[in-house]
Amino acid sequence: MQGCIFCSIASGLIPATIVYQDEDVVAFRDIHPVAPFHVLVIPRVHLASLAESTEADAALLGRLMLAARRVAHDAGFQARGYRTIVNTGADAGQSVHHLHVHVLAGKTLSWP
């Protein structure tokens, strides 16, 4: 989608520190990390939020979660643990309207 920063990252128009990518998803370091390890996993296709997804997106949603698992495991956090977060909508804190999974690790995380 034109004007979407995450679409621009997925297509290579905007540089990012890519930690994983395949034909469906891209994972890159967050530029404003809230944990020592903070990666965003996005679909290559524009999907505004989880609320916009349908049954037709089930396989893609699964690939997002498996990619989140992979980047956490590749970074060595499988034993200590990691957190995955999907913010949906403004009240939940979604600031970029392109579905993304936050993967946080590298410190003990508390619940807000």
Rounded to whole angstroms, the Cα distance separating 81 from 53 reads: 28
Q: How confident is the model at residue 17 (pLDDT cuts 50, 70, 90)?
A: very high
Which pLDDT value is given to residue 60?
98
Q: What is the pLDDT of residues 69-96, one digit of tens each?
A: 999 999 999 999 999 999 999 999 999 9
Q: Is 100 known to be catalytic? A: yes
User: Domain residues of the chain, as ranges?
Assistant: 5-105
Give the β-pairing of 18-21 and 101-105: unpaired
What is 5-105's CATH superfamily?
A: HIT-like (3.30.428.10)
pTM above 0.85, yes or no: yes
Rounded to whole angstroms, the Cα distance separating 77 from 55 reads: 31
Which pLDDT value is given to residue 86?
98
Catalytic hit among 32, 46, 100, 102: 100
